[in-house]
Chain A
């Protein structure tokens, strides 16, 4: 079993956290996980990407091979298209629809979303709205983890336990918000799957 993931977005969106939460949960589940991150200059409002590989066997390369990613999780719709060369023909894109327009010449959102929907397995999520409903807009990345959880080789108990432990150190309120966010993201994809992916 192996699961190759690309986590994408814009600096400051919590992309590395998406990847780190999944990686740590994989470790809890007794799996191997290797994550490759980009720090420094690229994080100043620029495109941010993390490669995450999970397997029940020891993992060699820390980066995903071209055309090998099972899953692209993107915090931003434009960024969801930046790593298509890594996406396997059978792979899935899960992207938040909220654009980050921090440069001139950002494409029309409609054009962008049409382009994402062209991918055979694409799921679009209004993560920011759902996070706000869960109690904190900053939990958008946990919404995305919840949405992706169906496609991860990790049972959700391990992810929930990790979220609980991580946020407990901060406050009970944050535990509650983030558990709710996870559930909300998870339900979204369950709904998307029943109406057909890409709808």
Chain B
């Protein structure tokens, strides 16, 4: 069975939250969608790829990184067409520059940025909450509670974006992105005409123009607040019979609360927030109605932190900041149960057996394993080597049996960090990066290393795909990665492309030893196609 939602009822389809976002964008008449794959957001543009293959529209594009994806979407908006840009939460860090500044210009075609956060870090290096970014950029944010609402909100987001001429964020979390449930879809809207004539005053962020544009945003901010205040995604239900406790939920937390609420006996007053900026009047209305508020949100205590500035000090606030809810990890119905004093199930206990973990690992026959074997051989006898790794399947090399990789921080960091360590006198200083991650964020730090002829070895694990997220294509074929590196000025005698093979591990180790001994920058491209990608290509 394919990942794609092929199981259909005419009116309602079982869709992943990500797929609901994709269909909504297509039905809202987008002309294109741009993304770099990243769990849990990947299936948004994967779904649109399938749609494009089937029906010819809209255009779906994998990009070099989230920044280039965002900029393409912004250009499309300037040309009057609707665009979607999708990414995982840490991808927004990469796209932060165009994101923040797109909130100063005046988008024309609807511009929606779908960001999937990962509370609980199922597949990420942190659990940053993208709602802060929306607040930071002063743009509206919609936070769906389920796949149906993801569909509805993305469709609305395009209208809001065009009405306010502002980018709109739709914030997902893992449990929504990867939740499959029935979604009823609406009619298909035609794409925008492109007969626009953008005004330079709206798009050139020279200080003289930018000051006016920023002022305009601030002047219009109350309108945005009024919109959020009146939005049907922010619902307040007051119970006059019960004034001890009020509940605020955001996004999917609503469903965790409603799952258990019936057991409370008395239903507390409840404000659900699905649209930001925060509906302060509704928050005050809830606060004036009860003596204590419990805040339930998946992610950081975003609403909870803001409450103190909105409501009277006499009202007790409970949530992540006072320990009623754990501050890390994802929310669940059981966490909500505990916070509400409801009984939590225990399940069945294991007998005497100790249950071993089954961590993810590199596949049988993965080319990275040979490269790691060679590198370990080459590093034997080195006193204090540092091996800076990066983000991809090969990060798993840090686990046994490979135990290779001393760091993994963010896309492309391996190269910059290896240069910094080399500058500090570390030898050998090694950077390991995959081909897709190299193209995403590795080229610019390599320029720094070239400029300084840093005493380090860069190992590019070129498996010709973005493997971890499901073998999406990389933007450049292997030959051109080699040419690109030579073009940056890496000395040809210290830039090697090596066909990795289990029988050639010794030979590769020897090459590493030679290049570690070279007092300057060396690059080794270890090439062999990913086993998963090879399997997929055969199909």
B259 within 8 A of A: yes
Residues of B contacting A154 in the complex (Cβ-Cβ under 8 angstroms): none
> B1 and A66: CB pair below 8 A?
no
Query: Complex: how many Å from CA A163 to CA B159?
Result: 40
Query: Complex: how many Å from CA A169 to CA B1?
Result: 10
Interchain CB contact (< 8 A) of A67 among B345, B362, B393: B345
B317 within 8 A of A: no
B106-164: which residues lie under 8 A (CB-CB) from chain A?
A: 122-123, 146
Cβ proximity bits B11-51 to A, threshold 8 Å, 1 near / 0 not: 01010100000000000000000000001101100000000
> B361 and A88: CB pair below 8 A?
no
> B334 and A39: CB pair below 8 A?
no
> B179 and A87: CB pair below 8 A?
no
Report 28 cross-chain contacts, Cβ distance below 8 Å, ordered by A residue: A20-B7, A23-B7, A23-B180, A32-B181, A34-B179, A36-B180, A40-B40, A40-B123, A40-B468, A41-B122, A41-B123, A42-B360, A43-B360, A45-B358, A59-B181, A60-B259, A62-B175, A62-B176, A62-B179, A65-B259, A66-B346, A78-B355, A78-B358, A85-B346, A106-B356, A107-B356, A115-B353, A169-B6
- Nearest CB of B to A31, in Å: 10
- Nearest CB of A to B214, in Å: 38
Interchain CB contact (< 8 A) of B256 among A27, A60, A79, A103: A60
- Which B positions have Cβ atoms within 8 angstroms of A? 1, 6-7, 9, 12, 14, 16, 39-40, 42-43, 122-123, 146, 175-176, 178-182, 252, 255-256, 258-259, 332-334, 337, 344-351, 353, 355-363, 393, 396, 401, 468-469
Residues of A contacting B350 in the complex (Cβ-Cβ under 8 angstroms): 81, 84, 115
Known: A40-B40, A42-B122, A44-B396. A86 touches B359 (CB 8 A): no
> A162 and B181: CB pair below 8 A?
no
> A162 and B353: CB pair below 8 A?
no
In terms of DSSP, what is the predominant structure of the interface of chain A? mixed
A132-176: which residues lie under 8 A (CB-CB) from chain B?
A: 162, 166, 169
A1-40: which residues lie under 8 A (CB-CB) from chain B?
A: 10-11, 17, 20-21, 23-24, 27-28, 32-40
- Nearest CB of B to A32, in Å: 7
> B182 and A35: CB pair below 8 A?
no
Residues of A contacting B176 in the complex (Cβ-Cβ under 8 angstroms): 62
In terms of DSSP, what is the predominant structure of the interface of chain B? loop
Closest to A108 in B: B353
Residues of B contacting A32 in the complex (Cβ-Cβ under 8 angstroms): 181-182
Query: Complex: how many Å from CA A68 to CA B333?
Result: 11
Residues of A contacting B358 in the complex (Cβ-Cβ under 8 angstroms): 10, 45-47, 78-79, 102-103
Query: Complex: how many Å from CA A62 to CA B148?
Result: 13
Interchain CB contact (< 8 A) of B345 among A17, A43, A65: A65
A119 within 8 A of B: yes
> A34 and B181: CB pair below 8 A?
yes
Residues of B contacting A105 in the complex (Cβ-Cβ under 8 angstroms): 356
Ranked nearest first, the 7 interchain pairs of A and B with the lowest CB-CB distance are A67-B345, A40-B39, A46-B360, A85-B347, A24-B7, A40-B123, A44-B360
Residues of B contacting A84 in the complex (Cβ-Cβ under 8 angstroms): 347-350
Extra contacts besides A60-B333, A65-B334 (9): CB < 8 Å: A36-B175, A62-B146, A63-B175, A65-B259, A88-B345, A105-B356, A111-B353, A112-B353, A119-B348
Residues of A contacting B180 in the complex (Cβ-Cβ under 8 angstroms): 20, 23, 34-37
- Nearest CB of B to A137, in Å: 16
> B346 and A166: CB pair below 8 A?
no
Known: A61-B256, A62-B252, A65-B333. A40 touches B469 (CB 8 A): yes
> A41 and B345: CB pair below 8 A?
no
> A11 and B360: CB pair below 8 A?
yes
Residues of B contacting A61 in the complex (Cβ-Cβ under 8 angstroms): 255-256, 259, 332-333
Known: A43-B360, A86-B347, A87-B347. A81 touches B355 (CB 8 A): yes
Query: Complex: how many Å from CA A82 to CA B117?
Result: 26
Query: Complex: how many Å from CA A78 to CA B357?
Result: 10
Query: Complex: how many Å from CA A62 to CA B363?
Result: 30
> B468 and A81: CB pair below 8 A?
no
Interface size on A, residues (CB 8 A): 60
Residues of B contacting A20 in the complex (Cβ-Cβ under 8 angstroms): 1, 7, 14, 180
> B362 and A66: CB pair below 8 A?
no
Interchain CB contact (< 8 A) of A66 among B334, B356, B360: B334
> B7 and A162: CB pair below 8 A?
yes
A196 within 8 A of B: no
Residues of A contacting B175 in the complex (Cβ-Cβ under 8 angstroms): 36, 62-63
Interchain CB contact (< 8 A) of A41 among B1, B12, B363, B468: B468
Query: Complex: how many Å from CA A89 to CA B346?
Result: 9
Residues of B contacting A162 in the complex (Cβ-Cβ under 8 angstroms): 7
Residues of A contacting B393 in the complex (Cβ-Cβ under 8 angstroms): 44
Residues of A contacting B355 in the complex (Cβ-Cβ under 8 angstroms): 78, 81-82
Known: A40-B468, A46-B361, A81-B350. A166 touches B178 (CB 8 A): no
Query: Complex: how many Å from CA A123 to CA B258?
Result: 34
Residues of B contacting A38 in the complex (Cβ-Cβ under 8 angstroms): 122, 178
Known: A33-B182, A45-B360, A45-B363. A27 touches B9 (CB 8 A): yes
- Nearest CB of B to A85, in Å: 4
Known: A20-B7, A24-B7, A66-B346. A39 touches B333 (CB 8 A): no
Query: Complex: how many Å from CA A62 to CA B14?
Result: 13
Query: Complex: how many Å from CA A10 to CA B356?
Result: 14
Query: Complex: how many Å from CA A85 to CA B345?
Result: 8
Query: Complex: how many Å from CA A63 to CA B146?
Result: 12
Query: Complex: how many Å from CA A82 to CA B358?
Result: 10
- Nearest CB of B to A146, in Å: 16
- Nearest CB of A to B189, in Å: 26
Residues of B contacting A88 in the complex (Cβ-Cβ under 8 angstroms): 345, 347
- Nearest CB of A to B333, in Å: 4
Residues of B contacting A36 in the complex (Cβ-Cβ under 8 angstroms): 175, 178-180
Query: Complex: how many Å from CA A175 to CA B40?
Result: 32
> B1 and A62: CB pair below 8 A?
no
Residues of A contacting B357 in the complex (Cβ-Cβ under 8 angstroms): 47
> A24 and B363: CB pair below 8 A?
no
Query: Complex: how many Å from CA A17 to CA B333?
Result: 25
Residues of B contacting A166 in the complex (Cβ-Cβ under 8 angstroms): 1, 6-7
Cβ proximity bits A114-128 to B, threshold 8 Å, 1 near / 0 not: 010011000000000
- Nearest CB of A to B521, in Å: 31
Interchain CB contact (< 8 A) of B39 among A41, A103, A107: A41
